[in-house]
Amino acid sequence: MTGSDESQMHEATLATERAVNELYLSQMAEAVRRQVKAAKEVPLPRNNQWTSPGSESKIPIRKIEVDPLIGRVALDVDDALLGSGFYIGSWHQEIGDTQVVSWAAPVATLFYLGRSSGDVLASEVEGRRTFVTETVQIVDFVDDLEETGTGSEDPFATPLTGPLDIPAAPAFVIPTPPSAGSPADPVGPVEVVEEPESPRVEVADESTEARPPCPDRFEVEDGLRAEKALLRVLDQPRTGKLSSVLATLQPDQYRLVTWPQGVPLIVQGSPGTGKTIVAVHRASYLVHPERDGGSVGPVAIVGPTERFVDHVSKAVRDLDVSSLGPEDPGGRIQIPQVLSVAGLLGRLAGVDTRAQLLVDDNEERIDTDWRLMRFATQAVGHLRAGGCWRHDFLVR
């Protein structure tokens, strides 16, 4: 293929993915609309009224933004549930016969970890496509292909939504006689080699009694996925705030985010290696209803200072918006709470420390307060003694 052919191919593929995203967004918007309508019928207390007494009572509904698709996985099988591939999004949705699965769903591991995933379909992963988005539009994509040995065929060549399928017209009209050119090959239905169906193994619920078995200490040689997309994100100007990085979440980060609930974990790393962003995504994962086992209930992120709280709040809310799916509108989902150590201790003691901390502009000193330091060290020691797992981020 020449370069221009390649870029034409790229454009065509991009157009298809944009069209799928368009459909996904409108279906999501429709689903959200239905839910909001249902929620509106629930009466709400009138104490939300403010300065304009007597103005029409509007039901406070959080502003809901629908997020675009995150990525796509190509499989070498035609799975009974997933077909020959599926999309990853914030929420589950069906686009025709094609599945969009939530990033928090167990099967999303195929997207984030590819063949190193523990999923039964891991070995069938042929390629993973990561979307680069601006607002809600897909503007580009990056493919990570697996060595398949079956030649260099593009596993994404066929749109997941199937080949263009136009029913026979009631009248077939051709305005001018067909030109004398050679007729092109008719495009028949794409042959798909049927593999024996591999039943999906349902993972049993984690027992709440005994501590679940710890996963092995895992290899850090996961490497990078969606490297180009990642570089593009990294190239963007820093806003000073954390934001959602669902599309470019790296394998090791993903493992930490989806770490089994109830297994203590210590994540270590130099500044800037991405510990906080993992924590934020972890919290959002835990409250996501489409996660295996559903939302765990209230989750708190505890950080050193009030400044930390400010820092991560936006990302939490971003992810919170993406977790406001059609299933549960109106903000009934638990939003991960962000607290400072001092704030948490204060809360436990029933004191509003935040107000005080804010009045006192010297809150940084809490960072270096030796008592808190000792407290944190003890907590870490306690967790270690309990057989907890450690993950070290390497400086990249």
Partner 1 sequence: MSPGSDIEYHPVRADVGELIEMIEPDRLLVIGDGVPEAMTLAGSTRLLVSVESDLPTGTYVFRTGDTAYVMHVAEGAVPGAPASIAWSEPDHPLAQAFGWFSHWWARGSPVPLPRFALEDEIQLVPSGQEGRIRTRKFSVDGWFYGVRVGGKSQQVREQSLQVLVIDDDPHQWISREPATANRFAATLTRAKLSEQLTDTVFSFRASRTLFRPYQFRPVIRLLTTGQLRLLIADEVGLGKTIEAGLVWTEFDARSMANRVLVVCPSALVAKWRMEMQERFGFELVDLRSEQLGNLLEQVEEERLPTRLHAVCSLERLRTWDGLQRLAELQPHFDLVIVDEAHAFRNSETRSYALGSLLADWSDALVFLSATPLNLGNDDLFNLLQLLAPGDFSDRAQLEDLLRPNSVLNRVAASLLDSTVSNATRKEWLSEIGAMTFGPGVTARPEFSELQVLLDEVGLTPASVTEARSLIGHLHALSAVVTRTRKAEIQEQKAVRTVATIDVDWTPEEAAFYKGFEDWQVERAKNSGYPIGFVTQMPLRLASSCLPMARQRVMDGSGGVLMDDLDADDDTGPETPELDVPPSSLVDLARELGAVDTKFDAFLPRLRDVVEQGKRVLVFTFSRATLAYLQRRLGDEFRVAVLHGGVTGEDRQAVMQRFRAGDHDVVLASRVASEGLDFEFCSAIVNYDLPWNPMEVEQRIGRIDRFGQLEKRVMIYNFSMPGTIETDMVGRLMSRIGVFEDSIGELEPIIESNLTEIRKALDFTLSPEERRRETDRLLAVIEEQRQAVSEVENATAFLSSTDKTEIEGLEQDLLSSGRYVGQPELRLLIEDWSHVSPGSMYSDSANGSQFILRGTELMERHLRSVRGKGERSEAEIERLAQKLRDEQDIVLYLDQEAARISGGDLLAANHPLVRAALAVPGHTQARFASIRIGPSGRAARSFLVLLAVARWDGLRKSAELWTESVPLDGGEPVDGIGDALLAGLAESELSEGGRLDPDLDMDVFLSRVEAQMMDRQTREELRREAENEALFETRRISLKETHLRKVQRIEGTIDTLRSTGKSNMIRLQEAQLRNQDRLVRAKEAELEQKSTGSLSVEMLAVCVLETEV
What's the min distance (Å) between Cβ of 176 and partner 1? 5
Token representation of residue 286: 């835990």
What's the min distance (Å) between Cβ of 111 and partner 1? 21
3-state secondary structure the chain: CCHHHHHHHHHHHHHHHHHHHHHHHHHHHHHHHHHHHHHHCCCCCHHHCCCCCCCCCCCCCCCCCCCCCCEEEEEEEEECCCEEEEEEECCCEEECCEEEEECCCHHHHHHHHHHHCCCCCHHHEEEEEEEEEECCEEEEEEEEECCCCCCCCCCCCCCCCCCCCCCCCCCCCCCCCCCCCCCCCCCCCCCCCCCCCCCCCCCCCCCCCCCCCCCCCCCCCCCCCCHHHHHHHHHCCCCCCCCCCHHHCCHHHHHHHCCCCCCCEEEECCCCCCHHHHHHHHHHHHHCCCCCCCCCCCCEEEECCHHHHHHHHHHHHHHHHHCCCCCCCCCCCCCCEEEEHHHHHHHHHCCCHHHHHHHCCCHHHHHHCHHHHHHHHHHHHHHHHCCCEEEECCCC
Decide if residue 370 touches partner 1 (CB under 8 A): no
Decide if residue 173 touches partner 1 (CB under 8 A): yes
Choose, by CB under 8 A, the member of 3, 149, 178, 350 that binds partner 1.
178
Nearer to partner 1, 198 or 270 (CB): 270
Choose, by CB under 8 A, the member of 4, 55, 208, 368 that binds partner 1.
55
What's the min distance (Å) between Cβ of 4 and partner 1? 11
Which residues from 307-336 bind partner 1, rule CB under 8 A?
309-310, 313-314, 317
Decide if residue 54 touches partner 1 (CB under 8 A): yes
Binding mask of the shown chain, residues 280 to 309, with x at each position contacting partner 1 by CB under 8 A: -----------------------------x
What's the min distance (Å) between Cβ of 165 and partner 1? 6
What's the min distance (Å) between Cβ of 355 and partner 1? 6
Which residues from 338-357 bind partner 1, rule CB under 8 A?
354-355
CA distance linking residue 365 with residue 232, whole number of Å: 37
Contacts of 395 (CB under 8 A, 6+ apart): 269, 270, 273
Token representation of residue 71: 């990525």
Choose, by CB under 8 A, the member of 57, 153, 163, 192 that binds partner 1.
163
Please choose, out of 181-189, 213-221, 278-286, 384-392, the segment that lies near partner 1 by the rule CB under 8 A.
181-189
CA distance linking residue 141 with residue 255, whole number of Å: 23
Decide if residue 99 touches partner 1 (CB under 8 A): no
What's the min distance (Å) between Cβ of 276 and partner 1? 16
Decide if residue 210 touches partner 1 (CB under 8 A): no
Decide if residue 272 touches partner 1 (CB under 8 A): no
Decide if residue 166 touches partner 1 (CB under 8 A): yes
Nearer to partner 1, 57 or 268 (CB): 57
CA distance linking residue 274 with residue 270, whole number of Å: 9
Phi, psi torsion values for 163, nearest 5 degrees = -70, 160
Nearer to partner 1, 94 or 205 (CB): 94
Decide if residue 13 touches partner 1 (CB under 8 A): yes
Identify which of 252, 243, 197 has the alpha carbon closest to the alpha carbon of residue 220: 252
Please choose, out of 80-88, 159-167, 273-281, 283-291, the segment that lies near partner 1 by the rule CB under 8 A.
159-167
Identify which of 341, 331, 272 has the alpha carbon closest to the alpha carbon of residue 309: 341
Decide if residue 385 touches partner 1 (CB under 8 A): no
Nearer to partner 1, 54 or 297 (CB): 54
Nearer to partner 1, 1 or 173 (CB): 173
Nearer to partner 1, 59 or 379 (CB): 59
Choose, by CB under 8 A, the member of 22, 227, 367, 369 that binds partner 1.
22
By CB under 8 A, how many residues form the interface with partner 1? 66
List interacting residues with partner 1 (CB under 8 A). 8, 12-13, 15-16, 18-20, 22-23, 48-55, 58, 60-63, 95-98, 158-159, 161-184, 186-187, 237, 309-310, 313-314, 317, 354-355, 358-359, 361
